[in-house]
Amino acid sequence: MVAAGEPRRFSCRVLPVRGKKDDNQLLQAIACPVSLAEGVRLQVVKRLIDIAASAAGLLLLSPLLAVVALVSRATLGPGVLFIQPRVGQGGRIFHIYKFRTMTLGDAPSADLSSDERRLTRWGSFLRQWSIDELPGLFNVLRGDMSLVGPRPLLVEYLPLYTAEQARRHEVLPGITGWAQVNGRNAVSWEEKFRLDVWYVDNRSLALDFKILAMTAAKVLRRDGISQVGHATTEPFRGSVPGESPSPTSPATTPAEPARKDPDAAI
């Protein structure tokens, strides 16, 4: 967002943004990219806030983190944390941390036929209240992520983005974001990416605080946790017809097939 009287360096365009009045209605909003100087100032201030907030959060929530880790160890077995490569700002790869919510299927009788069967009751509880995301505060403190930004997605998606969709990597990924408070996993990938790019073009501290407040309300209402027919959301399989994959997205071949995990899908 730009202060009154400050000229824009870029032209504006219309992008869809989900409105409050009707969850099925898309409102049109003008997306005006922030200037370079604006973006640098915002990045510095956001980083200071991220460091202070994540450090304070880890300290204050340490008893809860310890309890969750102990219960997860007792119910899910070894491997309390889910650690997976994700794509960060500028396409940089980092490892995201979450509490594990699914069985690894070590038992011979384990049913791995679907996400719904692998997702445990304890894991479902963690996901419903977004407690599984709390270890991500370590990523924020390290500088891999921000409190607010587009959600970091799988490395294997990199060659599938259009040039416009790939712009979501212009900023640090976040624990929560504009797409998460406007549908989370209940909306299509294309809509998520449009909302992500809208955030990139309109980011501000005021918008971040609004997203954090909306996130708290969403968590309490447990909205948008999954798509119909999926434990979370279906995998992203590429651009919609008529769009070309981004020429700037590096073609990557994962070292191993992505685990079909609800943690891997969001």
86-110 residue pLDDT tens: 999 999 999 999 999 998 765 444 5
**Measured distance CA(227)–CA(235) in Å, rounded:** 11
pLDDT value at residue 25: 41
The total of other beta-carbon atoms located within 10 Å of residue 234's CB is 12
Using the 8-state DSSP alphabet, how is residue 252 labeled? Answer: -
pLDDT value at residue 112: 53
Q: Are 262 and 127 in contact (CB under 8 A)?
A: yes
pLDDT value at residue 8: 36
pLDDT value at residue 118: 77
Structure tokens at 159: 């060659």
pLDDT value at residue 240: 59
Structure tokens at 124: 């479902």
Q: Is 91 helix (H, G, I), strand (E, B) or coil?
A: helix
pLDDT value at residue 183: 82
Contacts of 46 (CB under 8 A, 6+ apart): 146, 148, 172, 205, 208
Burial of 111 (0-12, 13-18, 19+ CB in 10 A): exposed
**Measured distance CA(109)–CA(88) in Å, rounded:** 37
Q: Are 138 and 95 in contact (CB under 8 A)?
A: no
Distance from first CA to last CA of the chain, Å, rounded?
Answer: 27
Block means of pLDDT (10 residues each) for the chain, 266 residues, are 40 46 41 69 95 98 97 93 97 97 65 66 92 97 98 96 97 96 85 96 96 93 60 76 47 38 40
Q: Are 157 and 251 in contact (CB under 8 A)?
A: no
**Measured distance CA(202)–CA(207) in Å, rounded:** 8
Structure tokens at 11: 């032209």
The total of other beta-carbon atoms located within 10 Å of residue 238's CB is 13
- Give residue for tokens 């365009």: 13
Contacts of 222 (CB under 8 A, 6+ apart): 128, 129
Sign of CA dihedral 71, 72, 77, 80: negative
**Measured distance CA(185)–CA(112) in Å, rounded:** 22
